[in-house]
């Protein structure tokens, strides 16, 4: 069988959908695979071969990977901090997907395998200061990642490394840092902070309510990576000869309060903040050190938070308005 297909798992999800779009735009034949029914995919492209498969089984992974020249494994059970802190077992079960996908990829002799890891692999002791100078790739060890989700990602990174060492399967690992943008989760409990804040501000503006809830004291800090930068970094890393994990993340560090300020400015409103101090918070400060990605790829994320949030807020606002059956007004 000719190996000319590019496979994207988790294609019905946020990052996966954008990746499929980019690959199709570059002229690649794409097989898009996800567990979810097609009508729940964030983006569904008729030009791709779309499959609904449970990739926790060996048989389905072999179906997904047949004739695959390259494989992007983005399939995982995940969400924002509110989800991963309360669904640790479900998050860890994603190891079944990566295990079976690696075995299938070896069997079909794919030329390259990409695993989407996360900044949640980084040791907790390196993330206690809101003014985080940036996490270097080496800061994942000694290991003390985010419980559940972070451990699964770190373990799967090691599997990729050893499949390369022992079986000669070329693997690439990107550590994503808080990716956000349009065509993603913004409600229901799996959303991440940028989408959650955009939704809360939009709902407050539409309802006339002058108050929103903020998890924690708002002084916890993060860097947020716009989806276009994430896709660019993913494709550059896949095409490179880099075998070690690399950060794919913005180094623009902001507090959650500053994130809310920015969304309020975009929306043209100012809201009273109610701080929920018992909510799931995660680490105190997380940022991306881009020394290695600049060295290896000659690139780093460059889309400012203000630009990405404006696009994200507009999309989420539209979704909320359409779901309420109202005419869109800005």
Q: Which residues contact 26 (CB under 8 A, 6 or more apart)?
A: none
Structure tokens of 228? 């276009």
What angle, rounded to 10 degrees, do the helices at 149-167 and 95-108 form? 20
CA dist 145 → 123, 221, 283, 288 (Å): 5, 17, 10, 15
What 3-state class would DSSP assign to 324?
helix
Whose tokens are 């799931």? That residue is: 280
Structure tokens of 223? 């860097």
Structure tokens of 114? 């990409």
8 Å CB contact between 264 and 201: yes
Note the helical H segments in the chain: 14-25, 58-65, 81-84, 88-92, 95-108, 149-167, 193-207, 227-239, 256-267, 291-297, 305-324
8 Å CB contact between 273 and 210: no
The catalytic residue among 149, 176, 186, 313 is 149
Q: How far apart are CA 136 and CA 115, in angstroms?
A: 19
Our answer to whether residue 313 is catalytic in this structure is no
Closest alpha carbon to 193 in 37, 201, 118: 201
Q: How far apart are CA 186 and CA 270, in angstroms?
A: 21
- CA torsion 243→179→33→77, rounded to 10°? 100
User: Which residues are tagged catalytic?
Assistant: 149
């Amino acid at each position: 069988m000719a190996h000319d297909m590019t496979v994207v798992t988790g294609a019905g999800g946020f990052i996966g959908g954008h990746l499929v779009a980019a690959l199709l735009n570059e002229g690649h034949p794409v097989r898009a695979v996800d567990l979810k029914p097609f009508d729940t995919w964030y983006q569904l492209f008729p030009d791709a071969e779309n499959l609904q498969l449970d990739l926790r089984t060996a048989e389905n992974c072999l179906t997904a990977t047949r004739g695959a020249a390259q494989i992007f494994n983005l399939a995982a059970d995940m969400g924002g901090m509110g989800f991963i802190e309360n669904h640790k077992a479900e998050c860890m079960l994603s190891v079944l997907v990566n295990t079976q996908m690696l075995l299938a990829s070896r069997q079909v002799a794919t030329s390259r395998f990409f695993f989407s890891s996360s900044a949640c692999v980084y040791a907790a002791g390196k993330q206690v200061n809101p003014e985080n100078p940036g996490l270097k790739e080496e800061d994942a060890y000694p290991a003390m990642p985010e419980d559940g989700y972070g451990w699964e990602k770190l373990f799967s990174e090691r599997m990729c490394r050893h499949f390369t060492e022992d079986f000669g399967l070329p693997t690439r690992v990107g550590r994503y840092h808080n990716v956000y943008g349009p065509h993603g989760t913004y409600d229901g409990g799996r959303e991440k902070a940028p989408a959650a804040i955009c939704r809360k501000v939009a709902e407050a503006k539409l309802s006339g309510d002058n108050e929103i809830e903020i998890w924690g004291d708002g002084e916890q800090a993060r860097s947020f990576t716009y989806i276009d930068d994430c896709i660019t970094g993913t494709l550059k890393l896949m095409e490179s000869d880099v075998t070690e994990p690399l950060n794919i993340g913005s180094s623009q560090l902001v507090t959650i309060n500053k994130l809310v300020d920015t969304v309020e400015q975009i929306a043209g409103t100012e809201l009273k903040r109610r701080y929920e101090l018992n909510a799931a918070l995660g680490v105190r400060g997380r940022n991306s050190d881009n020394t290695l990605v600049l060295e290896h790829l000659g690139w780093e994320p460059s889309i400012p938070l203000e630009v990405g949030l404006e696009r994200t807020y507009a999309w989420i606002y539209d979704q909320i308005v359409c779901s309420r059956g109202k005419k869109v007004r800005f």
